[in-house]
């Protein structure tokens, strides 16, 4: 609406305009000014009043002549158009008068930032397309990431655009304003005697500073951090061993022998991304020189660490402390009697000693402090400290103490002001259910979080918190490296950055940017601010001195539990914070491939003893608490032991996650490893597993062998494999004999740990929809790259292997000749391309694909998502789509494209510079995310490319090579490095 006022037009404030006056005004304008005049007339308050009166100046209206009438009508129409702007969505297409710096339409920009999970940072580089964050990658310069990510980092993108995120400040469930909240919070705080601030584990030094200042300013105030899955045991263990608290920072690249004491190495917070990289780097095979690190794993459930292990020993989690003691005995040349075979323990001890300091023992976070203390002692004894493990001094306190105190205070009614930030205490505190009533009696309660969660539902106030991609902050990684969290977009809803919230409550409102920058300027980092933003690291880790253990290990504790119940964070939705993330809900969990549910995992023997099978519902009891959940049998699980994953059974988290799975937090009071029992109930709960058959049926699918076997038979091809002459053809293949580059991929099964990061990275990159539990149960999941899991039984032990499978881009692709409309064709660069626009959906290609990697849009998955409405939610979800990738409609086939959009981008760039695409210039989404760098992509026609070298390896093979489809994706066989002195 033009704001230019007409000449000499002064609005009368009180007097009503008559028609004559309006006409006069209209006549004053002429020619080109005509329409402008209409708007001007319409814009005056007098004229609005005139129109709002249904029959204004009735007599004069009748006496008006035709021309005047039309003019007035035109004015009222213009006004109708203007008032329409208030409620119709405004869509203006306006070119930039002054374009923002750096933005070139169609080109993406990348910004370094970081995310925080369980109080630790993971450095990221986020891609922005025309102002929208569309893809999250790891930051090469950040020590926790080294360029890779875990599944959670990839899926944060969906959380950013999640339509269920809190959008408004709420007071008792009613929309309120932020100012009202601040007023209420500050007034209540001024009057409060014992205010409490509950947060998740804070990784931000700035926020820590702010909160400490806030607590200091209010006598009686306390700040409590709470994470249901934390590293308390490691902290307490270091206190037991060294006398003061230390952070445990592993560097597995320095370890030739690794003993995992019930540690899910690759799934213990953001640092696990680094651990996976280091572990895999010690297993790279160059030529026939097979030198690899060796991983011993003691665990009850099967984890990604267990399936990567050279020796996986199935033990109960409650036995592990005693096994660690045995190891100590064996290292000290004493009798190593205990629950585990002493001879084996002695061999492990000998192996650790023989490595001359290049060995490490890793303890699981859920194990008691005692075990961590023992691990500290062993690491000292074998000389690992300073090499494969660093102990970094810290002043952090175990979270459990504060949380227990808070629970007691709440129950006792001693809290009169409580602000919760990003924690969900009413759901995750031990005995949380009992606290609900007490919490409601607290005079002032407020929750600031991404979602309106269970705690928010019981609180008086809720404030939507900004996502990390929406607000400035900073964060520390496990090794102490600090990064600046750089936002890429303004808050999508009325969300508040956490620093601004705390500052405002403190009475010193300030923008988050100023707070964070001010903190670092004060620390003397002001000069390198720009570089820190670019690199994603503002303060690198400092080397620390190796602490010396004090005293010995404690006396032997209690015996193993008769029947143990293990609680672990979920491998895909963590402690429940990602419950509303459809990508993570639908991501098949490692080993079980279960989606959209948590299960009671147990061994085959235990299931037989209990008389249950998959999907039967059982009751799990620990102490007085009981939960009900469906059984899932995991071969290789310890007997008389069950594993339950937390994070499910949310009652308030958004439309995707509510009512999915069962809540295991009621059992948490007994600890992560507890004595309990399981009872069969006569019910069943359907489970959607992405894979239902886990036996290779004796087929040559995943090649795996020991180093010994590799030396004798480098191809590791099974001797009884179905032999057929390879490469037979009736025609000389001229198709790829041109000068274009030929794309191919190689996947090193020896590096793959089955973490699923590739699957979800692909989902984010390629706009792959979520289909829901029912569809997954019917085998219609859409993931372009999947992790196949198989197990075999060797010498009475279950051996697990995994294999990522995406389209193999066969040179003689069976899908192509059967398509009736030529919707799937080959490019001269060797890509098997899918032309969505041409596809009519006969699905013949899928039938004829021996790898079954094609995915069909049976329904309109992209825009008919069950939980979301089309008017409001779906448009929001559209924002996360990658504009370089077509969004597929119902009825068309789709599959892995080798990230053709990335190939094209690199090719265009190369052509501009009149050169070929360089090796490593194209990085596919799966390759980029892979923490172990198992995936290599490049030009197979160039013998010097990394992919060609990988394909030339003796252990390289093609999947189902006997079919002569000539896949462009090759696999390198998996090797195990068992200790020859340990009898299996």
Task: Mark the segment that binds other proteins (CB under 8 A) among 301-309, 518-526, 555-563, 891-899.
Answer: 891-899
Is 890 a binder of other proteins (CB under 8 A)? Answer: yes
Is 692 a binder of other proteins (CB under 8 A)? Answer: yes
Q: How far is the CB of 393 from other proteins (least distance, A)?
A: 47
The smaller minimum CB distance to other proteins, of residues 117 and 855, is found at: 855
Q: What does DSSP say about strands 625-633 and 956-957: parallel, antiparallel, or unpaired?
A: unpaired
Question: Please, is 133 exposed, middle or buried when counting C-beta atoms within 10 Å of its C-beta (0-12, 13-18, 19+)?
Answer: buried
Q: Among residues 207, 214, 819, 947, which is the contact residue for other proteins, using CB under 8 A? A: 819
Is 844 a binder of other proteins (CB under 8 A)? Answer: yes
What CA–CA distance (Å, rounded) separates 329 from 336? 5
> How far apart, in Å, are the Cα atoms of 518 and each of 115, 217, 940?
21, 20, 51
Is 863 a binder of other proteins (CB under 8 A)? Answer: no
What CA–CA distance (Å, rounded) separates 140 from 137? 9
HSE (CB half, 13 Å, CA atoms) of 453? 26
Is 793 a binder of other proteins (CB under 8 A)? Answer: no
Q: Among residues 220, 698, 943, 980, which is the contact residue for other proteins, using CB under 8 A? A: 698
Q: Are 744 and 940 in contact (CB under 8 A)?
A: yes
Q: How far is the CB of 579 from other proteins (least distance, A)?
A: 26
Is 778 a binder of other proteins (CB under 8 A)? Answer: yes
Q: How far is the CB of 933 from other proteins (least distance, A)?
A: 23
Is 701 a binder of other proteins (CB under 8 A)? Answer: yes
Is 858 a binder of other proteins (CB under 8 A)? Answer: yes
Is 614 a binder of other proteins (CB under 8 A)? Answer: no
Q: How far is the CB of 839 from other proteins (least distance, A)?
A: 7
What CA–CA distance (Å, rounded) separates 945 from 943? 6
Q: Please, which residues bridge with residue 147 across strands?
A: none
Among 382, 384, 481, 556, which Cα is nearest to 112's?
Answer: 481
Is 697 a binder of other proteins (CB under 8 A)? Answer: yes
Task: Mark the segment that binds other proteins (CB under 8 A) among 58-66, 221-229, 611-619, 778-786.
Answer: 778-786
Is 691 a binder of other proteins (CB under 8 A)? Answer: yes
Is 624 a binder of other proteins (CB under 8 A)? Answer: no
Is 696 a binder of other proteins (CB under 8 A)? Answer: yes
Count of residues touching other proteins (by CB under 8 A):
57
| Residues 824-843, mask of contacts with other proteins (x by CB under 8 A) | --------------xxxxxx
CA angle 56, 57, 62 (to 5 degrees): 110
Q: How far is the CB of 608 from other proteins (least distance, A)?
A: 22
The interaxial angle of helices 320-331 and 369-381, nearest 10 deg, is: 20
What CA–CA distance (Å, rounded) separates 483 from 528? 12
> How far apart, in Å, are the Cα atoms of 724 and each of 727, 960, 961, 964?
9, 11, 9, 9
The smaller minimum CB distance to other proteins, of residues 71 and 786, is found at: 786
What CA–CA distance (Å, rounded) separates 560 from 562? 7
DSSP string spanning 690-711? Answer: S------TT-SSS-EEEHHHHH
What CA–CA distance (Å, rounded) separates 361 from 924? 35
**Which residues lie below 8 Å from residue 647, measured CB to CB, with a gap of 6+?**
569, 570, 573, 574, 575, 576, 577, 578, 579, 598, 661
| Residues 710-749, mask of contacts with other proteins (x by CB under 8 A) | ------------x---------------------------
Q: Among residues 790, 791, 957, 971, which is the contact residue for other proteins, using CB under 8 A? A: 790
Question: Tokens at residue 206, please?
Answer: 């700035």
| Residues 934-963, mask of contacts with other proteins (x by CB under 8 A) | -------------------------xx--x
Q: Are 593 and 691 in contact (CB under 8 A)?
A: yes
The smaller minimum CB distance to other proteins, of residues 103 and 701, is found at: 701
Q: Are 923 and 930 in contact (CB under 8 A)?
A: no
Q: How far is the CB of 763 from other proteins (least distance, A)?
A: 16
Question: Tokens at residue 247, please?
Answer: 């952070």
Q: How far is the CB of 941 from other proteins (least distance, A)?
A: 26
Q: How far is the CB of 813 from other proteins (least distance, A)?
A: 11
Q: How far is the CB of 841 from other proteins (least distance, A)?
A: 2
> H or E segment at 744?
strand 743-748
Backbone angles phi, psi at 851, to 5 degrees: -95, -10
The smaller minimum CB distance to other proteins, of residues 181 and 851, is found at: 851
Is 800 a binder of other proteins (CB under 8 A)? Answer: no
Q: How far is the CB of 889 from other proteins (least distance, A)?
A: 8
Q: How far is the CB of 896 from other proteins (least distance, A)?
A: 14
What CA–CA distance (Å, rounded) separates 191 from 467? 31
Is 786 a binder of other proteins (CB under 8 A)? Answer: yes
Question: Tokens at residue 874, please?
Answer: 């779906």
Q: Which residues bind other proteins (CB under 8 A)?
A: 691-699, 701, 722, 775, 778-781, 786, 788-790, 803, 805, 814, 817-822, 838-844, 846-848, 850-852, 854-860, 889-893, 959-960, 963
């Amino acid at each position: 609406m033009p704001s230019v006022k007409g000449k000499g037009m002064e609005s009368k404030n009180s007097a009503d305009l008559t028609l004559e006056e309006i006409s006069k005004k209209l006549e004053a304008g002429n020619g080109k000014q005509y329409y402008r005049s209409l708007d001007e007339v319409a814009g005056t308050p007098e004229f609005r009043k005139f129109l709002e009166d249904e029959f204004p100046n009735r007599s004069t209206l009748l006496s008006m002549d035709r021309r005047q009438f039309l003019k007035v009508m035109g004015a009222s129409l213009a006004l109708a158009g203007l008032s329409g702007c208030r409620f119709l969505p405004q869509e203006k297409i306006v070119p930039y008068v002054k374009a923002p710096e750096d933005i070139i339409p169609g080109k993406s920009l990348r910004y370094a930032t970081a995310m925080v999970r369980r109080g630790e940072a993971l450095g990221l580089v986020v891609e922005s397309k025309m102002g929208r964050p569309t893809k999250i990658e790891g930051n090469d310069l950040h020590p926790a990431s080294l360029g890779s990510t875990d599944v959670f980092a990839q899926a944060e993108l969906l959380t950013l655009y999640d339509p269920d995120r809190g959008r408004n400040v709420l007071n008792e469930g009613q929309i309120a304003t932020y100012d009202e909240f601040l007023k209420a919070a500050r007034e209540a705080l001024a009057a409060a005697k014992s205010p409490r601030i509950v947060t998740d584990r804070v990784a931000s030094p700035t926020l820590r500073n702010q909160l400490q200042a806030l607590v200091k300013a209010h006598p009686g105030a306390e700040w409590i951090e709470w994470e249901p899955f934390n590293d308390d045991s490691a902290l307490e263990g270091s206190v037991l061993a060294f006398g003061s608290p230390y952070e445990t920072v592993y560097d597995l690249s320095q370890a030739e022998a690794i003993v995992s004491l019930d540690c899910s190495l690759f799934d213990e917070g953001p640092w696990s991304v680094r651990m996976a990289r280091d572990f895999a780097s010690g297993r790279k095979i160059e030529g026939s020189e097979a030198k690899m690190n060796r991983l011993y794993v003691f665990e009850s459930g099967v984890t990604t660490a267990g399936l990567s292990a050279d020796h996986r020993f199935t033990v109960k989690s409650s036995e592990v402390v005693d096994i660690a003691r045995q190891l100590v005995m064996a290292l000290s040349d004493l009798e190593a009697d205990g629950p585990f075979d002493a001879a084996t323990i002695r061999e492990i001890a000998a192996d650790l000693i023989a490595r001359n300091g290049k060995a490490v023992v890793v303890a699981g976070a859920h194990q008691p402090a005692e075990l961590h203390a023992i691990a500290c002692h062993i690491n000292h004894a074998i000389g690992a400290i300073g090499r494969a493990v660093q102990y970094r001094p810290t002043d952090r306190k175990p979270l459990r103490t504060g949380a227990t105190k808070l629970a007691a205070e709440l129950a006792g009614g001693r809290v009169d002001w409580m602000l919760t930030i990003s924690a969900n205490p009413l759901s995750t505190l031990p005995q949380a259910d009992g606290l609900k009533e007490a919490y409601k009696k607290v005079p002032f309660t407020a929750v600031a979080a991404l979602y309106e969660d269970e705690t928010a539902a019981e609180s008086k106030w809720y404030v939507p918190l900004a996502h990390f991609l929406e607000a400035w902050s900073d964060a520390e990684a496990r090794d102490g490296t600090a990064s600046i969290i750089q936002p890429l977009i303004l808050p999508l809803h009325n969300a508040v950055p956490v620093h601004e919230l705390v500052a405002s409550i403190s009475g010193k409102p300030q923008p988050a940017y100023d707070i964070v920058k001010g903190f670092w300027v004060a620390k003397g980092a002001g000069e390198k601010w720009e570089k820190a933003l670019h690199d994603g690291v503002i303060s690198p880790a400092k080397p620390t001195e190796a602490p010396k253990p004090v005293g010995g290990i404690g006396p032997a504790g209690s015996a193993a539990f008769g029947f143990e119940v293990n609680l672990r964070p979920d491998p895909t939705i963590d402690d429940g914070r990602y419950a509303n993330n459809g990508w993570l809900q639908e991501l098949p969990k490692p080993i079980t491939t279960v989606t959209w549910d948590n299960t009671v995992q147990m061994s085959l023997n235990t299931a037989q003893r209990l008389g249950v099978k998959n999907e039967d519902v059982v009751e799990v009891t620990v102490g007085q608490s009981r939960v009900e959940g469906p059984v899932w049998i995991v071969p290789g699980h310890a007997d008389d032991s069950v594993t339950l994953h937390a994070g499910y059974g949310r009652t308030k988290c958004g439309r995707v996650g509510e009512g999915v799975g069962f809540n295991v937090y009621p059992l948490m009071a007994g600890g992560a490893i507890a004595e309990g029992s399981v009872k069969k109930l006569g019910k069943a709960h359907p489970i959607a597993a992405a894979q239902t058959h886990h036996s290779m049926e004796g087929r040559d699918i995943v090649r795996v062998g020991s180093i010994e076997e590799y030396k004798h038979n480098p191809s590791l091809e099974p001797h009884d494999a179905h032999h057929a002459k390879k490469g037979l053809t009736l025609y000389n293949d001229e198709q790829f004999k041109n000068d274009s580059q030929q794309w191919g991929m190689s996947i090193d099964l020896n590096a793959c740990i089955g973490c699923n990061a590739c699957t979800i990275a692909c989902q984010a990159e390629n706009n792959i929809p979520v289909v829901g539990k029912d569809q997954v149960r019917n085998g219609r999941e859409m993931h372009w790259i999947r992790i196949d899991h198989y197990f075999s039984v060797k010498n009475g032990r279950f051996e697990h292997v995994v294999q990522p499978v995406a389209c193999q881009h066969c040179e003689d692709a069976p899908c192509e000749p059967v398509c009736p409309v030529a919707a799937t064709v080959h490019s001269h660069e060797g890509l098997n391309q899918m032309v969505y626009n041409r596809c009519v959906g006969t699905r013949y290609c899928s039938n004829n694909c021996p790898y079954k990697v094609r995915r069909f849009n049976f329904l309109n998955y992209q825009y008919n998502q069950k939980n979301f409405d089309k008017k409001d939610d779906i448009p929001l979800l559209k924002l996360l789509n990658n504009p370089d990738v077509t969004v597929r409609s119902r009825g068309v086939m789709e599959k892995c494209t080798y990230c053709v959009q990335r190939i094209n981008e690199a090719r265009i760039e190369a052509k501009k510079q009149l050169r070929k695409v360089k090796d490593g210039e194209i990085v596919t989404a799966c390759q980029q995310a892979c923490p172990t760098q198992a995936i290599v992509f490049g030009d197979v026609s160039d013998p010097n490319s990394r992919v060609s070298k990988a394909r030339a390896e003796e252990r390289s093979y093609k999947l189902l090579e006997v079919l002569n489809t000539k896949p462009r994706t090759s696999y390198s066989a998996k090797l195990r490095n068992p200790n020859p002195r340990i009898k299996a």
